[in-house]
Amino acid sequence: MKPEVIAITSALGWAVDAILVRLGARTSNVVAAAFLSYSVSALCLWSYLFSYFSFQLLWSPATVYFLLSGCFQPLLARILYYMGLTRLGVSRAGPLLGTSPLFAVFIAVVFLGEQPTLFVYIGTVLTVASVWLISSRRSGESEWRVFDLIFPLGAAFFAAVSQNLRRQGLLLFPDPFLGAAISTSTSLAIFSIYLIMTGRSGLIKTHKKSLPFFGSAALVSATAQLLTFVALSRGEVSAIVPLLNTNPLFTVLLSTLFLRDVEVITLKVVLGAALMVAGVIIITSR
């Protein structure tokens, strides 16, 4: 299968994950969703690796990059994104997460000395315009604070940092299963320690009404996580990153189909999602 197809499939998977978490969050909390997601992903990946992998290769220098990647994503990125889902809704938080490539370009400019082209500036303008459209208030919706925008935007930033670390690790050791397993396990370990030390371990209990949604989301996110690593290991970043960030279109479409009683989808949101994806493609195709 072509890496471009794998990347688009991964984007669709993350959109489905967002819808399921949003539905489950009506009777539970995002902490339970995140913990279940990490646990299922780690269990599935390590079960496979125990059967087919030589663990002597864990001493590869790539492991360091995968460990660092796990500190940012899925740990921080997914928690912030799930918080954004409950505060802003899928149709708004999803497209805002699509700003991740913009942060990736910024990181490359500041730390790698890259010189942006005209396409980058055009893409930036489209991205900023999309944020404005998506974040504008809609009549008839529940109240939310402007501060709440920091959650999906923060998720986008940490995802950008993590993607760069993942790519570097995969260049050293191109095994997507190992990369996904180490990153997810790192997130699970840090998250568990945090919950225990802060006395919030009780939050991981999932309400029985939310379990079907969170359980399904965990399986979908585990698959999407692995597909992300597979796509990055097989294709160039400039071609894969824009496709991985087409999930705003999927989230808006799926929100329209499955969240009509929870969220209000407007023309501004649809247009904002389209501008977001256009900006991402322009920036990363420079």
* Tens-digit pLDDT profile for residues 169-201: 888 888 898 899 999 999 999 999 988 998 988
Residue 40 has pLDDT above 90, yes or no: yes
Cβ contacts of residue 10 below 8 Å, gap of 6+?
224, 227, 228, 231, 244
Residue 218, pLDDT score = 94
pLDDT range class, residue 114, cuts 50, 70, 90: low
State the residue for tokens 């995802």: 159
The first and second tokens of residue 170, run together, are 């995969």
Residue 85 has pLDDT above 90, yes or no: no
Residue 131 has pLDDT above 80, yes or no: no
Residue 83 has pLDDT above 80, yes or no: yes
CA distance 230 to 52: 17
Residue 27, pLDDT score = 87
Residue 286 has pLDDT above 60, yes or no: no
State the residue for tokens 């796990």: 70
CA distance 59 to 199: 34
Number of domains in the chain: 1
pLDDT range class, residue 135, cuts 50, 70, 90: low
Inter-residue contact 8 to 187 (CB < 8 Å): no
Q: Is 195 helix (H, G, I), strand (E, B) or coil?
A: helix
Residue 157, pLDDT score = 92
Indicate the range of 15-24, 27-36, 99-108, 211-220 predicted with least confidence. 99-108
Burial class (CB in 10 A: 0-12, 13-18, 19+), 161: buried
pLDDT range class, residue 219, cuts 50, 70, 90: very high
State the residue for tokens 């220098």: 61
pLDDT range class, residue 142, cuts 50, 70, 90: low
Q: Give the residue from 279, 282, 265, 275 showing the smallest Cα distance to 90.
A: 265
Rounded average pLDDT over 255-266: 71
Q: Give the residue from 253, 14, 248 showing the smallest Cα distance to 127.
A: 248
pLDDT range class, residue 274, cuts 50, 70, 90: confident
Percent of the chain beyond pLDDT 70? 87
Rounded average pLDDT over 21-25: 89
Q: Work out whether the CA dihedral 16, 22, 28, 34 comes out positive or negative.
A: positive
Q: Which residue range is the domain that position 19 belongs to?
A: 3-284
Say which residue, 251 or 131, is predicted with more confidence: 251
Residue 215, pLDDT score = 95
Mean of per-residue pLDDT scores for the chain: 82
CA distance 130 to 14: 20
**Number of residues that make up the chain:** 286
Residue 143 has pLDDT above 80, yes or no: no
Rounded average pLDDT over 120-130: 73
Residue 277, pLDDT score = 78
Residue 263 has pLDDT above 90, yes or no: no
Residue 79 has pLDDT above 80, yes or no: yes
